[in-house]
A = this chain, B = another copy of it.
Amino acid sequence: MIKADQTQYHSPRGHTVQRIEAALMDDIAAGVLAPGERLDEVTLTERFGVSRTPIREALSRLTAQGILVPGEKRGVRVAQYGREELAQIFETMHEIETACARIASQRLTLLARAEIESAQAVCVTAAESGDILRYMRANEALHEAIYRATGNPYMAGLASDLRRRTGPFRAKKFATKADLVASAKSHESLIAGIFSEDSKTASDGMRAHMTASFLQTLAMN
């Protein structure tokens, strides 16, 4: 008689940890959970209506991925990067994105080309509407489309990972409609580079795009 019926309201069982992990990732990517913020097990327990065990497992997986870091005192916190670290992560991203653009330009299928074009169309529409959140999503989708165009899911996964990681920091650089339009415009030459099927042009285009993105991001952090 230690406990009341605890199994009564179980969700389908077996998805709990994944659900929590995904929810936390989303919150972090969307900035709902700010870098440096502490995550408390019991609070999450209440939020998700489960016991500490699955919460713990989700937190542990997120720390294993470097999305969370063990706090100075107790608990875990959302990873936060100083300028130095940010620069290192961006440099890495820079290299991988450049490689993706080069490979994509060499292997471009008709489907991939269509996906990139339509993703860019969404970017342009979103930029013109001035809807920042929507633009950010469209921007991610475009980059994802480029990653997929490499035909290398593994590389694409790595690139996505880095992008997710830097999401909260890059987010700050989109403040006005003009920022969005400028970014969308910058995509044009990047895409033209990839479509040129000349790998040098493609990687140079991406390099320029990423460098610009980094400079803006650094200015905001």
Contacts and interface: CB of A to CB of B under 8 A. Distances in A.
Contacts of A155: 88, 91-92, 95
B99 A152 contact: no
A95 B99 contact: yes
Question: Chain copies in the assembly?
Answer: 2
Contacts of A95: 95-96, 99, 155
Interface in A28-65: 53, 56-57, 60-65
A5 interface: no
A106 to B, nearest CB: 12
A43 to B, nearest CB: 20
A60 B53 CA distance: 12
Choose among A17, A57, A65 the residue with the greatest number of B CB atoms under 10 Å from its CB: A57
Interface string A92-105: 10011001000100
Tier of interface size on chain A: 20 to 34
A61 B60 CA distance: 6
Nearest to A94: B99
B60 A91 contact: no
A63 B60 CA distance: 11
A153 interface: yes
Contacts of A154: 85, 88-89, 91-92
Interface string A124-157: 0000000000000000000000000000111100
Interface of A: 17, 53, 56-57, 60-65, 85, 88-89, 91-92, 95-96, 99, 103, 152-155, 158
